[in-house]
């Protein structure tokens, strides 16, 4: 598996960051090359129809969420609906491809922008 970072866009976990294949990231002094950086306030999933934890940052069903991912050199920043969920540094690798994968569920996009960073 190639060195990469997976940014979760899934109900109840949007904004989680997972290093893949030996990639590593640091946030708040903690470096990980395995496991997952949970977004702040993430609630343990409950298999209950319509479950939403009390700290849920995703919008209710039927509304669109805004996810912003900024990868700038060795820095990765993820925001969900205007709130920073992850701000990591020392990303290894610090460059690479952007891939979109939908696994185990449908994903609907209202708008998708891919823009170069200002110099």
- Domain of residue 75, residue span: 4-92
Q: Does any domain span residue 12?
A: yes
Q: Is 5 exposed, middle or buried (0-12, 13-18, 19+ CB in 10 A)?
A: buried
1 pLDDT above the threshold of 90: no
Q: Cα separation of 113 and 22, whole Å? A: 28
32 pLDDT above the threshold of 90: yes
Q: Does any domain span residue 58?
A: yes
- Model pLDDT for residues 41-65, shown as the tens digit of each residue: 787 777 777 777 778 899 988 899 9
What's the pLDDT at 86? 96
How many distinct structural domains can be found in the chain? Answer: 1
Q: Does any domain span residue 42?
A: yes
- Model pLDDT for residues 71-117, shown as the tens digit of each residue: 999 999 999 999 999 999 999 999 988 888 877 778 888 999 999 99
Q: Do 98 and 76 meet the contact criterion of CB atoms below 8 Å apart?
A: no
Q: Does any domain span residue 32?
A: yes
The 3-state DSSP class for residue 12 equals coil
Indicate the pLDDT class of residue 11, thresholds 50, 70 and 90: confident
CA distances for 109 relative to 9, 74, 97, 113, angstroms: 11, 27, 20, 10
Q: Does any domain span residue 100?
A: no
69 pLDDT above the threshold of 80: yes
């Amino acid at each position: 598996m190639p060195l990469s970072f997976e940014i979760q866009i899934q109900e109840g976990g949007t904004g989680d960051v997972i290093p893949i294949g030996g990639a590593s990231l640091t946030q708040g002094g903690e470096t990980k090359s395995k496991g997952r950086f949970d977004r702040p306030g993430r609630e343990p999933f409950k298999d209950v129809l319509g479950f939403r934890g009390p700290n849920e940052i995703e919008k209710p069903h039927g509304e669109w969420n805004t996810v912003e991912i900024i990868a700038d050199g060795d820095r990765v920043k993820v925001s969900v609906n205007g709130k920073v969920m992850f701000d990591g540094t020392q990303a290894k690798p610090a460059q690479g491809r952007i891939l979109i994968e939908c696994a185990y569920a449908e994903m609907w996009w209202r708008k998708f922008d891919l823009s170069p960073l200002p110099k």
